[in-house]
């Protein structure tokens, strides 16, 4: 299968850097949940990428942003061709669901800017330079109710109970439509630079639907989430298969929840 790494927007598939600490402190009294995460991507024993992910909620609005940067040998081969920045803003529904409104990413070999506008019934994408919409392109019916990849991660972070259940409908990068089907897979002890303690393990079925430029196959990923005192779930590790380099692992180097580092 083609790796769903990009699907998390981290390389991925987990994630703009946080603002100055003084600005964050000034907002702490009024802001809702906040998560800041820094990840490293590993393949064949090498660090091949760095990723950041930030999520914040203020009242009935939320924002999320991410950056990914290829490092090491991969950078010497690819340069900045696989560097991307991502952002999304949206609204929090009365039931707590996150509903994206405007998504943007920029980067890649052509420094393409992609923008997607989300409504209740459809998702509209524009790109400069123009891009194809996959083969076959996702239909309006397939796009209905889907969220971008940054919101998908945020919806798991803010889950009411166990994040390892249910289906997340994802519309990645303004084009690719797939489902993440999550089921619980026990608890494991984790001891990393970002977190030490018990983590929830999710088995995640990646089910491609439409809009991919290359053929895709279903695959199984593993997500680890750290439960926190605030009730949020911090993504600790993501493991996914790839065609060329075996299992790719994204592991958090730093996790900060509501202004407090987990470790």
Residue spans per domain, the chain: 4-261
Dihedral pair phi/psi, residue 177, rounded to 5°: -110, 125
Dihedral pair phi/psi, residue 5, rounded to 5°: -55, -45
Integer CA distances (angstroms), 61 to 33, 55, 90, 134, 150, in order: 11, 11, 6, 31, 14
* Residue-wise pLDDT tens digits, 189-204: 999 999 999 999 999 9
3-state class of 215 per DSSP? coil
Cβ contact 64:88 at 8 Å: yes
Omega before residue 59 within 30° of 0, cis: no
Question: Beta strands 247-257 and 233-241: pairing type?
Answer: antiparallel
* Residue-wise pLDDT tens digits, 38-47: 999 888 888 8
3-state class of 7 per DSSP? helix
The secondary structure of 116-145, three-state, reads EEECCCCEEEEEECCCCCCCCCCCHHHHCC
Q: Report pLDDT for 69.
A: 87
CA dihedral 163, 169, 173, 174 (to 10 degrees): -150
Q: Report pLDDT for 73.
A: 65
3-state class of 79 per DSSP? coil
pLDDT tens, per residue, the chain with 263 residues: 454 444 333 334 333 222 233 333 334 444 689 999 999 988 888 888 899 999 999 999 999 999 988 887 666 666 666 789 999 999 999 999 999 999 999 999 899 999 999 999 999 999 999 999 999 999 999 999 999 999 999 999 999 888 999 999 999 999 999 999 999 999 999 999 999 999 999 999 999 999 998 888 899 999 999 999 999 999 999 998 887 778 889 999 999 999 999 98
Cβ contact 239:249 at 8 Å: yes
Q: DSSP secondary-structure letter at 243?
A: S
Q: Report pLDDT for 77.
A: 66
């Amino acid at each position: 299968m083609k790796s769903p790494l990009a699907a998390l927007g981290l390389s991925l598939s987990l994630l703009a850097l946080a603002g100055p600490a003084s600005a964050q402190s000034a907002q702490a009294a009024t802001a809702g949940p906040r998560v800041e995460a820094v990840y490293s991507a590993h393949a064949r024993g090498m660090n091949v990428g760095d990723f950041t992910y930030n999520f914040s909620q203020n009242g009935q609005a939320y924002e999320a942003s991410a950056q990914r940067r290829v490092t090491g040998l991969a950078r010497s081969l690819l340069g900045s061709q696989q560097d991307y920045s991502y952002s999304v803003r949206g609204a929090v529904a009365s039931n707590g669901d996150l509903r994206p409104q405007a998504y943007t990413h920029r980067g890649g070999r052509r420094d393409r800017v992609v923008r997607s506008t989300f409504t209740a019934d459809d998702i509209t994408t524009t790109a400069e330079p123009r891009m194809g919409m996959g083969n076959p392109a996702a239909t309006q019916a397939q796009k209905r109710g889907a969220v971008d990849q940054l919101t998908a991660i945020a919806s798991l972070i803010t889950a009411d109970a166990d994040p390892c259940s249910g289906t997340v409908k994802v519309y990645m990068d303004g084009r690719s439509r797939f489902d993440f089907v999550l089921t619980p897979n026990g608890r494991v002890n984790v001891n990393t630079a970002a977190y030490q303690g018990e983590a929830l393990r999710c088995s995640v079925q990646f089910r491609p639907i439409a809009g991919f430029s290359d053929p895709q196959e279903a695959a199984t990923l593993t997500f680890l989430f750290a439960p926190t005192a605030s009730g949020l779930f911090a993504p600790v590790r993501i493991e996914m298969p790839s065609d060329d380099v075996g299992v790719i692992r994204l592991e958090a180097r730093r996790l900060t929840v509501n202004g407090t580092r987990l470790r």
